[in-house]
Structure 1
């Protein structure tokens, strides 16, 4: 009789276990489109008989049924770590490529409003003066064309500075977001620790935490170190951003304008102590743009403006004479008294008669040798045109290499994400197969209960009538 009732208990545990497994499969199916969800699996274990017999009692060795020991969250720690690394690399490369694209936009090349086109117009204007030095129209035209070039230099310089300022604001917002995510991870660590200590389910909490860690990997290149009771430490740039249930805040330090990056580069530091953090991901790309890409091209643009002004001024003030027979003066000057650069260059006069086209003293002569000399600067080796062409070619090559790197890294990141998804993602075909398996097991356990019930009915209600 005791064996019969133990079989009934085994059937009962089977019904409970298969129903629990069906619940888990249903949870997986319900969250097939939930971002960050990791599929779960009901781990079953046989309930064994007593290993040590008690007085007047021995085990029959069959066991006591089945139990769901735990609901396991399926994840591959190695693939998760690779995912953090590759996502950080992709975010950094994308940000750097975006910065180079912004520089191309500032230079507006190729195009009618680009500096190359404006330079060509200036040289054409001086050639027109060479062909008609005695007319005010050609002189006024070249003044207008030089004003247009100065405006183009101002626009490019202002665009680079505006992009630098916007990038710094974006970095500040990103750091605030990182601090908020770190605080949330610390809170989740505490909740997961308490859940594990009290044997409460924490899988959904771990999913939320992993989603935040991946977000941090994109933003700042986070990596994790697993601790006890299911907690993790999050490391960013060599600094423990989250340690157990506590989080470290970050801040942005350094120059507030593009001109100051040479002496005080922008950097990410700890809010307390000011220790420098070397992040990866989007933050690293933004730092590279502010401390390297934008200052470098701003410096090249300033050098171009100065070289152009020096070249034209050098010819215009050396043995050159204007329409009135006076010695030529500087064509370009600084608007603020500092050395000429792309942001302060300006045309020094607006009177067409001050254009010094002649190489001969005396008023109203038709010599135009100096105007021709300035026009020939367009083909001078190492001149403004050659310098700018090298700059544009360098920018184009860097942008192409950066975009190629982004494409390659995107392929790698996509492959890693696919591998992660193959492990942690929900496969509806697999879940349907599991559901059928659990359903048949549940039906079989129910049939076992019916069979035992019939056996007990025969034993209890019919066996006693045999002797009557």
Structure 2
């Protein structure tokens, strides 16, 4: 009887609806899960002859509730948030270093000039001359430790890049594999919802490492490229990201994409954490290190040149107090090991004469050409560096908060669209359960009608 067949289709369709609802409820707390929805369609008459209401209902598909634009917006804001967060973390470390008392170059200079002033009262005093040497040595250690701190962070950033590249390459391989499985399942009319969620999660992690673009393909796979266009994943083929060390600095690197034997250089900003690492190294850390080197050279040369105009207590020509390696001045700056009586504080070697000492004190106000700061006193240059660090740190903090808020908004929109709503699913359970029972009632009614017909004979 057609009434029973129609009711059976209703039973099957509403049982599928119950299954989908149960799956949603089971995954109400599963991160990244996109709720599903059974799609129903009426079955029309099997023949154009005669009058027929139809043949019941069928489930045409199980729809995954997601919006490609919303998901892409989440990935885009995630890239910016990760970039800002990584940059802020590095900038905060630099600000902490620059604010540390033991790294304060200006304070070290003040201490040295104070020792020079003290010695002007009695230039021939061995203890006072020793104090000059001690403060000079302390100043070199400030330069050394600050430079070493820059170098250590520079090295750490290289290690961060290596880890980010390794993670990115692993994600690319996994995305390509999921692409393959989605295509295979879609070709057999299977439900790839779980695989689509998995792929979205993997691409979300990748977007933290770099800025990406995606393009849906007819076979269900997703093409992934860098924002600048270089291929990352095409179908089931994955690229490999490589960081090629800079010949002049092993902790800097040129980034490139290797796809199927072809190399694509990454020109410009890669975005995400990888972009933040390189940008911070190139735009902030290395210029600061260069400025520190210039300060060390300018001060050491000026001090040594001034000493060269005088004579020590033994009547010998003035010798340098500072020495450094031109390849890395601030990290190698040190005192030469002069004894107190070898300090040439007088132009003629007379014990009470302090004219060269006066010239050394005058260096505190002498200006030098420092990149980014013009002609400026060494102490003022360092103070300006500290100020610049604080200003930039505040700006980066503001940018990070804005990026985080945008990402949170994008995630909220995505979750409102795709996440499971317990109240809605509870209502669906009632709807499908009632429909299922109603179809059972139809079968029961059909059975009663059949029994009544049999009873007539």
Q: What is the aligned-residue RMSD (CA, Å)?
A: 2.2
Task: Sort the Cα spacing of 1:274 and 1:350 in 2 relative to 1 into closer, same or farther, 3 A.
Answer: farther
Equivalent pairs, count: 445
Match of 2:404 among 389, 406, 410: 410
2:360 alignment counterpart: 374
Quote the offset at 1:380 in angstroms: 4.2
1:245 alignment counterpart: 236
1:344 alignment counterpart: 332
Quote the offset at 1:52 in angstroms: 2.4
Equivalent residue runs for 1:260-275 within 5 Å = 266-270=254-258, 272-275=261-264
Q: Secondary structure at the match of 1:342?
A: helix
TM-score (norm 2): 0.91
Task: Say whether the 8 Å CA contact 1:161–1:258 is kept in structure 2.
Answer: no
Match of 1:12 among 8, 11, 32: 8
**Stretches of 4+ aligned residues off by more than 6 angstroms:** none
2:370 alignment counterpart: none
Q: Indicate whether 1:160 and 2:156 are aligned.
A: no
Quote the offset at 1:368 in angstroms: 3.3
1:229 alignment counterpart: 219
Q: Indicate whether 1:423 and 2:417 are aligned.
A: yes
When structure 1 is superposed on structure 2, of 219-228 and 248-257 the one drifting more is 248-257
Quote the offset at 1:325 in angstroms: 4.1
When structure 1 is superposed on structure 2, of 210-219 and 349-358 the one drifting more is 349-358
* Rounded Cα–Cα distance in structure 2 between residues aligned with 1:292 and 1:149: 27
Deviation digits for residues 214-250 of structure 1, max 9, x if unmatched? 1111112222111022111110241111111211222
Gaps of 5+ in 2: 368-375
Task: Say whether the 8 Å CA contact 2:97–2:103 is kept in structure 1.
Answer: no
Task: Say whether the 8 Å CA contact 2:77–2:406 is kept in structure 1.
Answer: yes
Task: Say whether the 8 Å CA contact 2:103–2:145 is kept in structure 1.
Answer: no
Quote the offset at 1:257 in angstroms: 6.2
TM-score (norm 1): 0.88
Task: Sort the Cα spacing of 1:32 and 1:376 in 2 relative to 1 into closer, same or farther, 3 A.
Answer: farther
* Rounded Cα–Cα distance in structure 2 between residues aligned with 1:100 and 1:31: 40
2:351 alignment counterpart: 364
Quote the offset at 1:379 in angstroms: 4.1
Deviation digits for residues 9-45 of structure 1, max 9, x if unmatched? 2222222222211111111121122222111111111
Equivalent residue runs for 1:285-300 within 5 Å = 285-300=276-291
Task: Sort the Cα spacing of 1:76 and 1:117 in 2 relative to 1 into closer, same or farther, 3 A.
Answer: same
Task: Say whether the 8 Å CA contact 1:172–1:251 is kept in structure 2.
Answer: no
Task: Say whether the 8 Å CA contact 2:241–2:255 is kept in structure 1.
Answer: no
* Rounded Cα–Cα distance in structure 1 between residues aligned with 2:215 and 2:15: 36
Deviation digits for residues 73-94 of structure 1, max 9, x if unmatched? 1111111111121111111222
